[in-house]
A and B are shown apart, each in its own frame.
Chain A
Amino acid sequence: MTDQAVEREVGRSRLRKEDARLITGQTNWTDNIQVAGLLHLAILRSPMAHARIERIDVSPALERPGVVAAFSGADLAEGLGSLPCAWPVTEDIVLPDHPPVAVDEVRYAGDPVAVVVARDRYAAADALEAIEVDYDPLPPVLDLEAALAEDAPLVHADKGTNRCYTWPLATGESFESVRQRAEVIVKRRYHQQRLIPNAMEPRAVVVTPLAASGEYTVYSSTQIPHILRIMLSVVTGVPEHKLRVIAPDVGGGFGSKLQVYGEEALALAVARRIGRPVKWTESRSEGYLATHHGRGMIQDVEVAATREGRLLGLKVDLIADMGAYLMLVTPGIPILGAFMYPAIYKMDAYDFTCTGVFTTRTPTDAYRGAGRPEATFAIERIMDELAVELGLDPVEVRRRNWIRHEEFPYTSVAGLTYDTGNYEAATEKALALFGYDDLRAEQHKRNERGDPVRLGIGVSTYTEMCGLAPSRVLRDLRYAAGGWEAASIRMLPTGKVEVVTGTSPHGQSHVTCWSQIAADVLGVPFEDVEVLHGDTKAAPQGMDTYGSRSLVVGGSAVHRAAEKVVEKARKVAAHLLEASAQDLEFTGGVFSVKGSPEARKSIQEVAFETFSSHDLPDGMEPTINAEHLVDPENFSYPHGTHLCAVEVDTETGRTSIRSYVCVDDVGRVVNPMIVEGQVHGGLAQGIAQALYEEAVYDDEGNLVSGTMADYLVPSAADLPDFVTDRTETPAASNPLGVKGVGEAGTIASTPAVVNAVVDALRPLGVHDVRMPCTPERVWRAVRSATAGEEASP
């Protein structure tokens, strides 16, 4: 029925509607917002990782010119609750109190201790220096394993432990039993370094109060305006219906703006207290302390296999760094990964445990991929080690274990039901594009002649779980909310269309893609569709944007809502054409009567007739607008094969990426241009974890990589051109057949790069290099491996 229309928009590289404003500077970033009487809020932060606040005096700040107010944590404690954690993963999880401004103890360098409000940002920054604070230092807690010892100093003394939770999952046979019959055991420890997400737009929040009616509008650089509204209401006590949250233009998130931040609550509390609009904007170096970090895990991984290379079981023991407090979904991040360690492989036993640990560092939480990149890294690294152990090519050992395309749907040992996939096809395509055999031949030659610049080849065959999430699954995982998404479609009297979505884009191109989806179903021009989002007044229902969920869940909701519009319009058209609804065809936006094609009504005409309501079917509500909420039945499972060739200068330790090929299967594609762009960006971040980025702390718990000059975000000059391609195996769990693409590149690329680095160095005796694979680490690995070789006869 709408098939012709489908060909028209979905699947086509439509240029983006979002661009016009962004390339001409007509943007609406939160920091752009100016309102009469706007005051600036600045935050004094702890310079120490862990200390008792002995004394704090904010009154000298009030003497400074332009300062309107200053508050300590104690001043603000009334009417400002603990920041929320919505994912208490176990019943006995330790949930510490998390005041937006510390009252008697600071627990990470950057923990807020006081705020000032002044007429401009310069006056506010100056006034911070007048605040007097005496700290009594406490021991920092930095080592994840030492933190679990009996006598370790405590991050939260009242809790009596640094252990936040232990979350086990054991499925299939017992791992012990498969270990007994295994012929090969490979055990490794991997480190997931802490990363700083680095969305290009620093966070900002503006709150405008309407004192007379007790209403507040909160503008925030957030991925989650809807969740934020609920949580801000809980934290501040401002009734939910008096809060309007707007995510204006948001400059990237990557999980870092999937959060309910202290600054958001603070701005609201302060605006309420002083009755004036306030703005807070973080500087980049402030954000490095105040915006949550990602990763931060130690992974002990063990695989059991047969001599032929068949996997029997997998055991994973994680220690995950929570940081000082639990933020919105901090404890759940490693749990999202728990189901992905078995990846695309068949095995009989799976045993997983994660222990969350408090440390005196910035809290961790979601960062692009959120648990799944860590899982993929571990399994894809150890598959390479297994291949070495068995003397097999790394692609071959994967081939012997992966789920074959005819075996779908397939329930993994971790209990996920993968609906569709074709790992063989993606891998074959990637190998051909990469020139795998030729590169292996070149590598062999270079190794033979002892080339100081080694060639390494890394593979990663990944899958991930996207489309978060079936609400009942979230319930079982003890997440506080559901995973549905909402869309509504308004047919305007002039035939134009408004799509209202509960997703909240910040670079993902929802306006363009949702227009394509709606245009196809409704048969209206792409240009006639507007998409409203990111404002709880304009788009009141939603679960927002994270976890590669928006297209899968939110896009499906748009599709379904549009179908409902067509069905309502069909009734009106049938009435107007004096035909029965079943006798109508709907093509290209026009209803016509089968057999008499001259009897036609366009959907735009129907929209006007509905507006005038002069001649509607008896008893019909005068609207063809429709709303639909989708609660997904299953996750979606993108997959693909990534191949990376690196050259490693063994003298300096420098790694250069020579070529990178990926073939991703993200299901049906709404806009190929946008999908390719998502993959590129994901690759850059995954490669950055492999080679460049790390949040480094010193022994006192200070963030040493504390500015963009020290934390190495790669530039265009540091990254290669990527070769990207696709296979297309539609998802079975949603009407669009889509799977999600936001995180694929990040998840797949990190192990591909590190596998390549290790592959380059393996002939020299190197078996691992810790991330990021800095030149010094590579150099040291080579040096100690060759020294070992020399030592042994």
Chain B
Amino acid sequence: MTHIKVNVDGTTYEDDVEPRLLLAHYLRDRLGLTGTPIGCDTSNCGACTVDLDGATVKSCSVLAVQADGSDVTTVQGLARDGEWTALQRAFHERHGLQCGYCTPGMIMAARDLLRENPHPTPGEVRQALEGNLCRCTGYQNIVRAVLAASGETLAQEVAEEVTA
């Protein structure tokens, strides 16, 4: 067992874990943070994407021990006082989800894109989401949602989150 200390969505957790425990299973099975789902075993689908110290990772391909001392943000940590972020609103308003299983990963990946590139082109959005698979939407409304969310509002929100 290895002792780890991880801050997830603003709460600090200390746990003894097996070194082989995947971050995704740590979040889901140990912390009960089931908002982050798992969709594959080869890091292709991206459903489990979370933010680790300011950059997206696929939490099924990171060991919990590798997150020791880190800050993790999941889809469950995005809304502030019940207020959705611009991306969450955009996914809702542009019908960017159907079954919703890929949605947490999509939102986290899109958030990562907009942090680096606040005004992406449709092609840049598609490229940025290349590691996140969706089987329901054909992606068109996801791309629309990300484009809708891009711009000042979101950049501001992300900046606030980062400083918070």
Measured CB to CB, the residues of A under 8 A from B are 15-16, 18-27, 29, 31-32, 34, 120-122, 198-202, 249-252, 254, 283-285, 506-509, 673-674, 676-685, 707-709, 713, 715-719, 721-722, 745
Query: What are the 7 tightest A-B residue pairs by CB atom distance, in nearest-first order?
Result: A25-B35, A22-B100, A251-B101, A507-B99, A680-B138, A684-B138, A32-B34
B44:A708 contact, CB within 8 angstroms: yes
Is B92 within 8 A of A23, CB to CB?
yes
| Chain B residues within 8 Å of A27, by CB | 34-35, 37, 100
Q: In the complex where A121-B25, A709-B44 touch, is A722 in contact with B140 (Cβ < 8 A)?
A: yes
On whether the beta carbons of A681 and B98 are closer than 8 Å, the reply is: yes
Residue of B nearest to A200 (CB): B101
Residue of A nearest to B89 (CB): A23
B64 within 8 A of A: no
Contacts of B103 in A (CB 8 A): 22-23
Sample of 20 more A-B contacts, CB < 8 Å, known A122-B21, A198-B135, A201-B99? A15-B93, A16-B92, A19-B92, A22-B97, A25-B35, A27-B35, A29-B34, A199-B101, A200-B102, A251-B100, A283-B40, A507-B98, A507-B100, A507-B136, A508-B98, A681-B137, A682-B138, A717-B130, A721-B140, A745-B138
Which residues on B are within 8 Å of A, measured CB to CB? 18, 20-21, 25, 28-29, 32-42, 44-45, 47, 74-76, 78-79, 84, 88, 91-93, 95, 97-104, 107, 122, 125-127, 129-143
Partner of B135, one of A20, A32, A200, A678: A200
Whether B129 pairs with A715 at a CB distance below 8 angstroms is yes
Question: Given the interface contacts A680-B140, A719-B139, does A25 sit within 8 Å of B98 by beta carbon?
Answer: no
Taking the closest CB of chain A, its distance from the CB of B120, in whole angstroms, is 12
Write out the residue numbers on chain B whose beta carbons fall within 8 Å of the beta carbon of A251.
Answer: 37, 99-101
Given contacts A26-B35, A201-B37, A716-B129, contact A680 B99 (CB under 8 A): no
- With A507-B99, A509-B98, A681-B98 as known contacts, state yes or no: A25 contacts B136, CB within 8 Å: no
Which residues on the B side are within 8 Å of A16 (C-beta)? 92, 95
Question: Which residues of chain A come closer than 8 Å to B74, judged between CB atoms?
Answer: 25
> When chains A and B are docked, how far (Å) is the Cα of A122 from the Cα of B17?
12
- Please determine whether B100 and A716 come into contact, CB atoms closer than 8 angstroms: no
Of the candidates A200, A713, A717, A718, the one whose C-beta lies within 8 Å of that of B136 is: A200
Quick check: A24 and B130 within 8 Å, CB to CB?
Answer: no
* CB of A571 to closest CB in B, whole Å: 40
Minimal Cβ-Cβ distance residue in A for B97: A22
Cβ contact of A677, chosen from B41, B76, B98, B143, cutoff 8 A: B98
Residues of B within 8 A of A254 (CB): 135
Q: Are B138 and A249 in contact (CB-based, < 8 A)? A: no
Please judge, given known A-B contacts A23-B88, A506-B99, A708-B44, whether A685 and B135 are in contact too, CB under 8 Å.
yes
A25 near B143 with CB under 8 A, answer no
A284 engages B45 (CB within 8 Å): yes
Q: Which residues of A contact B29 (CB under 8 A)?
A: 120-121
Is B97 within 8 A of A19, CB to CB? yes
A141–B10 CA distance with the chains assembled, in angstroms: 56
Q: Are A681 and B122 in contact (CB under 8 A)?
A: no
The CA-CA distance from A509 to B20 in the complex, in Å, is 38
Q: Is the CB of B76 within 8 A of A25?
A: yes
10 A-B residue pairs with Cβ-Cβ distance under 8 Å, sorted by A, are A22-B100, A25-B34, A26-B76, A200-B45, A200-B134, A251-B101, A507-B98, A507-B100, A716-B143, A745-B138
A678 surroundings in chain B (CB, below 8 A): 98
- Contact between A707 and B41 (Cβ–Cβ < 8 Å)? yes
Q: A22-B100, A677-B137, A722-B140 are in contact. Are A283 and B35 (CB under 8 A)?
A: no
